[in-house]
Structure 1
Amino acid sequence: MTSQPSLAKADQASHNPGASHPENGRTGTTGPDGSQGSDGLKAGLKNRHLSMIAIGGVIGAGLFVGSGSGIAKAGPAILVSYALVGTMVVMVMRMLGEMAAARPSSGSFSAYADQALGRWAGFSIGWLYWFFWVVVLAVEATAGAVILNGWVPAVPQWAWALIVMVVLTATNLASVASYGEFEFWFAGIKVVAIGAFVIIGLLAVFGVLPGSDNPGAGFAHLTDAGGFMPNGPGSILTGVLMVVFSFMGSEIVTLAAGESEDPQRAVTKATNSVIWRIGVFYLGSIFIVLTLLPWNDKSITKDGSYVAALNSIGIPHAGQVMNVIVLTAVLSCLNSGLYTASRMAFSLGQRGDAPKAFAKTSKRGVPQAAILGSVVFGFLAVWFNYQWPTTVFNFLLNSSGAVALFVWLVICFTQLRMRGMILREQPEKLVVKMWLFPYLTWATIAMISFVLVYMLTDDAGREQVVLSLLVAALVVGFALVREQVQKRKKVSAGPADELTG
């Protein structure tokens, strides 16, 4: 068993002649001058881009749109749900940061799974992750189209979805720097908006905000409507299921690090700051909502938690203000989703697990075929959403729903094996370390497994887990069969090669 990592690594190298050597600690991009490395990607992301991608990566549209339903189910105890999931994400990001700082890669956890667990694992989780993000493209494009159609009804929703997809595709095709610049401003708007919301909200909570309509009840609303857990302790777990997917995206920075000027520094900084980012943006903002309004206030579900909170303060045009912020979050998620899907497809192409065209880059250092291949599937999913929203698209949505949890599980198991590989081969690269290894890694595996099992007891969660497991089983099965076929070809080709030699 101990020989598996080395064998997997050797096998990977044979399928990826363009990959960089471990001694340089990179996956091809070469330095701050932006020159292209052996993998063809260009180091076009600046440190400020990576910093904002890291901060904004954990703020999706789900936080703004979906938090109201979680509050309605769990009451103030939803804070515990967010804290539990946040803790899980911090652990996973720490593990991923350990591997990414040592070996920055555009394939991130998929490339690490390939090395540590075997080619079948890298292939499977890479394609599942790609599938997740191209479905997200359709979801976010449709969400953005709904908002834009509300502002300009003369342009139909499908046209707005098309316009949004075309613009962001062009951005990603131009250069990685243009993606980074767009994401810098998108994420910046989200960060400033939530920061302002938290500060203004705190002032209103204590009744010191000039002109506020809020009575300034302090922390009374946390317990004055049936207590802190009005629906019982079980509602905390229900809340976990409702908020877990709004955290997906925090791992994007480890993929982007491979195209940055100093990937090790960027990953280390992002990993170390994940705790306060989750604390401020998720726990902080939800805490403000719950202290400004009773959890059972009907406006939270009717208008949305953030709009309801802003209305309680007396902020004029709160709905339109929040629509602008949600649209920014949607465009940010769409932009990052296209980037992430294309870089995963690129990495799969490099390793021989996707069409070779996906591994080719343009003169500007972007994988055009991988970007276009990803966006075509995204366009197709948008079309499914308009043609068969309750059948085909619903299947796509549910069958990718639990992929986030699968990805986190694979990261945990990969890190268990990768730690030993790094210590043997590049001990000086272990600049970020998982806390209390391996105990916290196993504890995180147990937490994620528990969430997956508990989802089977929930009506909505059950369908997601079952369909996601079905798709995952098909992909893993295909990967294993493919691996066996390739091994047989090598064995049968061996004697012939010797004779010809």
Structure 2
Amino acid sequence: MFDAATGGYAELTVDAIDQRADTGPNSRRLADGLKQRHVVMLSIGGSIGAGLFVGSGHAIAEAGPAALLAYVFGSLLVVTVMRMLGEMACAMPDSGSFSTYADKAIGSWAGFTIGWMYWWFWVLVVPLEATAAANILNSWLPDVPVWQLSVLVTAALTIANLASVKNYGEMEFWFAIIKVTGILIFIGCGIAALSGFVPTVHLTPWQTVTGHGGFIPRGIAPIIGALLTTMFTFLGTEVVTIAAAESENPAREIGRAITSVVWRISLFYIGSILVIICTVPWNDPELTRMGAYQAVLQRFHIPYAKLITDGLILVAVGSCLNSALYTASRMMYSLGTRKQAPGFLTRTTGNGVPARAVMASSLVAFVACGANYLAPKYVFDALLSTTGAIALLVYLVIAVSQLRLHKRLVAAGPLKVKMWLHPFLGALVVLLIGGAFVVMVLSEDHRREVVATLGCCAALAAVGYWRQRQLKARATRMTR
């Protein structure tokens, strides 16, 4: 990566990254406030959002029981990409995570582009999740308008993020425990009911899976379309590599999180989808009307199924909203330390919180909330479409970065986490993601969001490349 201070290309060392994190008159180090239990539960619960409880129903309705294939393929892709990310993150933990690695592997324009794209995605997640939380709370508190509840939820979590990173970790710890417990109970109930151990529940799983047009009732194309839904659902798994940078031993915690990602994804996602497709026919409108989890619980004759599901969704939404504000602020902070965002955003409080980055991200999120409620629907939809394929874009950048950094990482010392079958598996990931982009561009259902995402990415890349050229020219003048 070009270094404007030296006029050359910086070597990859942990010390160099630490020095970059401390540069500038307004910069301070982030606090090491996350404990081991925080990081462990972040790694377990970070990939569980409301998409599992609600979005899975839409994926199944789109592709039929074969949506399971989309989740299996998506799981394999995520596990592989997380392994690649883990190799880099264990060697050089950084709050900028893959944005920092893209900066070093591809060029500062790439780190600039993916960093701001990722920040933009999480900022837009806030109004979505805040509205979802407000709608649930409004069903319990009908006298309070939805927009007021949305503002209150966002403000409360902003204040929590401003207090200390320990607050974020503690909230995510309990959010994760509730989510994981709920999923394990759901899967346990599903196994009991499908095995015939519940006398009041009579299910025919084979007939449910194959009796409504077969396992692949709508062909291959919808499966590929459902992949975009699953990728959006999985996005968030990588947040642990950002958060772990604020723990006492980042490399150790990241290593543990990465090595456990296989069983986490397999159990929570594949297990849940299997229970759903064996219980509720894919063409049952209840899957999209009330959500997959609620539809299944009602088939099991579980009392207060809606209340239970709403509670789980509220916890998942609160967790996602909390993580959105945290992740956006840390990415903005990292961009600031690399001179790719205004330097004043790197200023931290006595507790090691990048308060200005938190406030700036929250401010943009509040503006997006206003657009969601006050502007015509197509305005917010257009904004949202610019991040529709962000998951695939992030995974592509991680794969390319690892392929280019691997030799330098090995030369720096023994790797705590090493990518499998390098470079063949990494190259396969790049080809598969590229193919997925092509298929989605050709699909009318997903063309708009993919084109919008790539268009926004191209605009940012142009700005980043221009900035890189300006820094290089300035450094050249200084050396003369």
TM-score category of the 2 structures, normalised to the smaller one: over 0.9
Match of 1:262 in 2: 249
Match of 2:277 in 1: 290
1:39 deviates by 4.4
Query: Tell me, what secondary structure is at the counterpart of 2:361?
Result: helix
Q: Quick one: which of 95, 117, 132 aligns to 1:143? A: 132
Matches of 1:357 and 1:25 in 2, distance apart? Answer: 19
Matches of 1:480 and 1:305 in 2, distance apart? Answer: 44
Match of 1:132 in 2: 121
Alignment pair present for 1:239 and 2:226: yes
Match of 1:439 in 2: 424
Match of 1:35 in 2: none
Matches of 1:190 and 1:493 in 2, distance apart? Answer: 55
Deviations 1:335-379 (A, max 9, x none): 001110000000011011111111111100100000001000000
* Contact in 2 for aligned 1:12/1:119 (Cα 8 Å): no
* Contact in 1 for aligned 2:4/2:474 (Cα 8 Å): no
* Contact in 1 for aligned 2:187/2:275 (Cα 8 Å): yes
* Contact in 2 for aligned 1:75/1:295 (Cα 8 Å): yes
Matches of 2:171 and 2:212 in 1, distance apart? Answer: 43
Match of 2:453 in 1: 468
Match of 2:81 in 1: 92
Query: Tell me, what secondary structure is at the counterpart of 2:446?
Result: helix
Match of 1:4 in 2: none
Matches of 1:26 and 1:268 in 2, distance apart? Answer: 19
AA aligned opposite 1:489: R
Deviations 1:238-293 (A, max 9, x none): 22133221111000000011101221111111111111111111110011011122
Alignment pair present for 1:427 and 2:435: no
* Contact in 1 for aligned 2:4/2:471 (Cα 8 Å): no
* Contact in 1 for aligned 2:7/2:479 (Cα 8 Å): no
Alignment pair present for 1:406 and 2:393: yes
Matches of 1:289 and 1:305 in 2, distance apart? Answer: 7
Note closer, same or farther for the CA distance 1:84–1:103 as it changes in structure 2 (3 Å cut): same
Match of 1:40 in 2: 29
Match of 2:374 in 1: 387
Matches of 2:21 and 2:360 in 1, distance apart? Answer: 23
Q: In the TM superposition, what are the counterparts of 1:11-50 in structure 2 within 5 Å?
A: 11=4, 22-23=14-15, 39-50=28-39
* Contact in 2 for aligned 1:12/1:114 (Cα 8 Å): no
Q: Quick one: which of 93, 118, 135 aligns to 2:107? A: 118
* Contact in 2 for aligned 1:77/1:235 (Cα 8 Å): no
Matches of 2:475 and 2:20 in 1, distance apart? Answer: 28
* Runs of 4+ with deviation above 6 angstroms: 12-15, 24-30
1:220 deviates by 3.8
Q: Quick one: which of 278, 284, 292 aligns to 2:265? A: 278
Q: In the TM superposition, what are the counterparts of 1:20-419 in structure 2 within 5 Å?
A: 22-23=14-15, 39-209=28-198, 213-419=200-406
1:418 deviates by 1.1
1:11 deviates by 4.6
Q: Quick one: which of 435, 438, 444 aligns to 1:453? A: 438
Match of 1:499 in 2: none
AA aligned opposite 1:445: V
Note closer, same or farther for the CA distance 1:493–1:14 as it changes in structure 2 (3 Å cut): closer
Matches of 2:473 and 2:223 in 1, distance apart? Answer: 51
Query: Tell me, what secondary structure is at the counterpart of 1:459?
Result: coil
Note closer, same or farther for the CA distance 1:490–1:25 as it changes in structure 2 (3 Å cut): closer
Matches of 1:27 and 1:228 in 2, distance apart? Answer: 55
Matches of 1:255 and 1:14 in 2, distance apart? Answer: 29
AA aligned opposite 2:294: V
AA aligned opposite 2:303: P
1:303 deviates by 1.9
Note closer, same or farther for the CA distance 1:459–1:49 as it changes in structure 2 (3 Å cut): same
* Percent identity of paired positions between Structure 1 and Structure 2: 45
Note closer, same or farther for the CA distance 1:225–1:123 as it changes in structure 2 (3 Å cut): same
**Structure with more relative contact order (C-alpha pairs < 8 Å, separation 6 or more):** 2
Note closer, same or farther for the CA distance 1:12–1:121 as it changes in structure 2 (3 Å cut): farther
Deviations 1:90-120 (A, max 9, x none): 1110000000011100110111111111111
* Contact in 1 for aligned 2:325/2:358 (Cα 8 Å): yes
Bigger shift: 471-480 or 388-397?
388-397
Matches of 1:369 and 1:219 in 2, distance apart? Answer: 55
Match of 1:34 in 2: none
AA aligned opposite 1:22: V
Matches of 1:407 and 1:234 in 2, distance apart? Answer: 23
* Contact in 2 for aligned 1:27/1:103 (Cα 8 Å): no
Matches of 1:22 and 1:242 in 2, distance apart? Answer: 36
AA aligned opposite 2:14: P
TM-score (norm 1): 0.90
Matches of 1:23 and 1:493 in 2, distance apart? Answer: 25
1:25 deviates by 8.6
* Contact in 1 for aligned 2:89/2:254 (Cα 8 Å): yes
Matches of 1:295 and 1:65 in 2, distance apart? Answer: 14
Matches of 2:103 and 2:83 in 1, distance apart? Answer: 19
Matches of 1:70 and 1:108 in 2, distance apart? Answer: 29
1:218 deviates by 4.6
AA aligned opposite 2:443: D
Note closer, same or farther for the CA distance 1:12–1:218 as it changes in structure 2 (3 Å cut): farther
* Alignment coverage as a number of residue pairs: 474
Deviations 1:199-241 (A, max 9, x none): 01110111103xx642043544222222211222333222213
Query: Tell me, what secondary structure is at the counterpart of 1:456?
Result: helix
AA aligned opposite 2:282: W
Matches of 2:5 and 2:253 in 1, distance apart? Answer: 26
Note closer, same or farther for the CA distance 1:224–1:420 as it changes in structure 2 (3 Å cut): same
Matches of 2:453 and 2:222 in 1, distance apart? Answer: 24
Note closer, same or farther for the CA distance 1:422–1:239 as it changes in structure 2 (3 Å cut): same
Match of 1:490 in 2: 475
Matches of 1:13 and 1:324 in 2, distance apart? Answer: 55
* Contact in 2 for aligned 1:27/1:258 (Cα 8 Å): no
TM-score (norm 2): 0.94
